[in-house]
Amino acid sequence: MKPHRRKRLGIILFIATALSFAVGLTLYALSQNIDLFYTPTQIAAGEVAVGQRIRVGGMVREGSYVAASDSLRVEFDATDFVNNVPIHYEGILPDLFREGQGVVVEGALDANGLFQASRVLAKHDENYMSPEVKAALEASGASPQNHSAMPEQ
């Protein structure tokens, strides 16, 4: 085989391999569950084993947030308004962490059904507005709920 033909063949083989690799990877990804987190309902349904490292996504339930006075230890419930997951966490919370806002929590369930978190991330919704607009909305009783962290069912 002439050298330039061999080179061209090599290149075509390279492209073919790369393409099939990319397509294969995409199909694999699509068939797998590539959701970032489990919802409280999925955890209540027993989809997650004790000790398995996972992420939980939901809203911080209003009135559930309790912070220890002598340490960084906090407790709160993640909720999808159907089920709750009680969460224990020790560390610094992101700026956007608030009751009624979305969170994604990394960690594992312990034997008591408590979720021991190693990291807490805030999930922002797609609604941007000034504090004045927010106040006006609340006054009119039409407060927009953040449902973006909710399951779609």
Partner 1 sequence: MWLWFSKLGSPKWFYELSGKWLPWLIAVMSLLLIIGIVWALLFVPPDYQQGNTIRIMYIHVPFASISLAFFPLMAVAGTITLVWRMKLADMVAKTAAPLGAWFTALALISGSIWGSDIWGTWWIWDGRLTSMLLQFFLLIGVISLRSALEDTEAASKACAVLSIVGCINVFVIKFSVDWWNTLHQPAGSFSLADDAPNPPEVWVPLVVMILAIYCFFAVSLILATRNEILVRERRAQWVEDLACNS
| Binding residues for partner 1 (CB under 8 A) | 4, 8, 11, 15, 18-19, 22-23, 26, 34-37, 39, 57, 93-98, 101, 104, 119-134, 136-137, 140, 144, 148-149, 151
Task: Give the CA distances from residue 96 to residues 53, 109, 128, in Å, rounded to whole numbers and listed in that order.
Answer: 24, 24, 13
Q: How far is the CB of 120 from partner 1 (least distance, A)?
A: 7
Torsions phi, psi for 137 (to 5 deg): -65, -40
Q: How far is the CB of 52 from partner 1 (least distance, A)?
A: 17
Q: How far is the CB of 118 from partner 1 (least distance, A)?
A: 12
Which residue number, 110 or 138, has a Cβ lying nearer to partner 1? 138
Which residue number, 83 or 101, has a Cβ lying nearer to partner 1? 101
Q: Do 61 and 77 touch, CB atoms closer than 8 A?
A: yes
Which residue number, 74 or 93, has a Cβ lying nearer to partner 1? 93
Which residue number, 109 or 150, has a Cβ lying nearer to partner 1? 150
For 66, residues 6+ apart whose C-beta sits below 8 A from its C-beta are 74, 75, 76
Q: How far is the CB of 86 from partner 1 (least distance, A)?
A: 20
The tokens describing 117, both together, are 């978190």
DSSP string for 7-26: HHHHHHHHHHHHHHHHHHHH
Q: Name residue 103's beta-bridge partners.
A: 58, 122
